[in-house]
Amino acid sequence: MSTVDSVPEGVSIHDMRILLVGAGGVGTAIAMIAARRGFAELVVADYDLARAQRAAGETSAAIQLDARDARAVAAAVTAHECGVLLNATDPRFVMPLFRAALAAGADYLDMAMSLSVPDPGDPYRRCGVKLGDEQFAAAGEWEESGRLALAGMGVEPGLSDVFARYAADKLFGEIDEIGVRDGASLVVDGYDFAPTFSIWTTIEECLNPPVIWERDKGWFTTEPFSEPEVFTFPAGIGPVECVNVEHEEVLLVPRWVDARRVTFKYGLGAEFIGVLQTLHKLGLDATAPVRAGDVTVSPRDVVAACLPDPATLGDRMHGLTCAGTWVTGTGTDGAPREVYLHHVVDNAWSMAEYGSQAVVWQTAVNPVVALELIDSGAWSGTGVLGPEALPAEPFLDLLADYGSPWACEERTPGQ
């Protein structure tokens, strides 16, 4: 595959054209990472043209685009001759962008899936509309079109799913549990409360009923922040209390990887959980617009507007963030085995190298790796697929080549 350094001057290195929709923190980091790799040409789109232009810099084109308008997005894909639509917006815009890519005959990648709707009668026991259900309902259309919709290709979901595939293929003969575990030692100076990722998405995934999958029961739900456990994270992060949170891996992994149980737990901390619970009690997590004087506004949008933009917090942050997949079961030798496959990013490194804070950069690097694999032919497919549907080793090898290696920590089973 061509790289920037190996291409003679004056020769085009761009085999792939990508419409990147969303020029926030993650979208901007994607543009910077992709520019260094040189395998693709980007057209950066955002509702705010100035923001798109800042993210595009001098290496990419920038356009104004409303992600809610599927027809306009499809027209932009066609007009700019893009073969891929990369969605870097929040989950509200998944379906119009997903449909736009299909209508335009382009491949599609996102980092979060179509939204869930809790069961109206028994939300903490039964699933209603699950994350990704709307996308999987269109799988036949994507297969017929011969195009690929790669769903959940960020870090979590995304890299965590790749880890699950790798464990199943290389490390285990039989898997008992696949548990995604996320923790960090990040501190943001100067703020009493400052989430390091989109508060809109954080509220959505933390306050919705978490989903668990078990072989004998299928998918079922529980109460938010249930089943607390202390999980010890590597790289000096140490023990962090983790709780159940709604997340795409639980909906993706069982479709392609055989395991007895699949869970997702997030290290939020008591203070963070308390803030989210207070927002819920006050109705400030609601997305439906309410009237406030002469203005109609979504309460959750107000909360987001009152908090600092996570992408701007990098110079106030210090510490590490860790994303990983904990797997237990029987190893290929027939003996009990327990591992934690993980990826750690130091905020000091990501800021020095890319000017991007650690959580944002860790999310952004994975879709770029996936797109480079698709461009090379190492990854291919049609229909609506999750990352675990594709071979893990090429992805993990290329991730290390990006200067951000992963690791597999052996643990003592049952301890």
Backbone dihedral region of 203: left (phi > 0), alpha (psi from -120 to 50 degrees) or beta? alpha
User: How does residue 311 score in pLDDT terms, banded at 50, 70 and 90?
Assistant: confident
Q: What is the Cα–Cα distance from 392 to 88, expressed in whole angstroms?
A: 23
User: How does residue 299 score in pLDDT terms, banded at 50, 70 and 90?
Assistant: very high
* SS3 of the chain: CCCCCCCCCCCCCCCEEEEEECCCHHHHHHHHHHHHHCCEEEEEEECCHHHHHHHHCCCCEEEECCCCCHHHHHHHHHHCCCCEEEECCCHHHHHHHHHHHHHHCCEEECCCCCCCECCCCCCCCCCCECCCHHHHCCHHHHHHHCCEEECCCECCCEHHHHHHHHHHHHHEEEEEEEEEEEEECCEECCCCCCCCCCHHHHHHHHHCCCEEEECCCEEEECCCCCCCEEEEECCCCEEEEEEECCCCHHHHHHHHCCCCEEEEEECCCHHHHHHHHHHHHCCCCCCCCEEECCEEECHHHHHHHHCCCHHHCHHHEECEEEEEEEEEEEECCCCEEEEEEEEEEEHHHHHHHHCCCHHHHHHHHHHHHHHHHHHHCCCCCCEEECHHHCCHHHHHHHHHHCCCCCEEEEECCCC
**Position with higher pLDDT, 229 vs 2:** 229
pLDDT of residue 6: 35
List domains and CATH numbers for the chain: 159-359+404-411 (3.30.360.10)
Range of weakest confidence among 169-173, 196-200, 246-250: 196-200
pLDDT of residue 415: 74
pLDDT of residue 3: 31
pLDDT digits (tens, 9 = 90+) for 131-153: 999 999 999 999 999 999 999 99
Q: What is the Cα–Cα distance from 191 to 199, expressed in whole angstroms?
A: 15
pLDDT of residue 414: 81
Q: Calculate mean pLDDT across residues 384-403.
A: 97
Q: What is the Cα–Cα distance from 163 to 408, expressed in whole angstroms?
A: 9
Q: Calculate mean pLDDT across residues 51-78.
A: 97
Percentage of residues of the chain with pLDDT beyond 90: 89
Q: Calculate mean pLDDT across residues 291-315.
A: 91
Q: Cβ contacts of residue 180 below 8 Å, gap of 6+? A: 156, 160, 247, 249, 263, 264, 265, 323, 324, 325, 326
Mean pLDDT of the chain: 94
Cα 77 from chain centroid? 23
Q: Calculate mean pLDDT across residues 152-180.
A: 98
pLDDT digits (tens, 9 = 90+) for 5-45: 333 333 334 579 999 999 999 999 999 999 999 999 999 99
pLDDT of residue 339: 98
Range of weakest confidence among 138-147, 190-199, 262-271: 190-199
pLDDT of residue 200: 87
Residue 109 clears pLDDT 70, i.e. is over it = yes
pLDDT of residue 13: 41
Range of weakest confidence among 60-74, 221-235, 294-308: 294-308
pLDDT of residue 8: 33
Q: What is the Cα–Cα distance from 208 to 32, expressed in whole angstroms?
A: 33
pLDDT of residue 12: 35
pLDDT of residue 20: 98
pLDDT digits (tens, 9 = 90+) for 207-247: 999 999 999 999 999 999 999 999 999 999 999 999 999 99
Q: What is the Cα–Cα distance from 72 to 134, expressed in whole angstroms?
A: 21
pLDDT digits (tens, 9 = 90+) for 349-380: 999 999 999 999 999 999 999 999 999 999 99
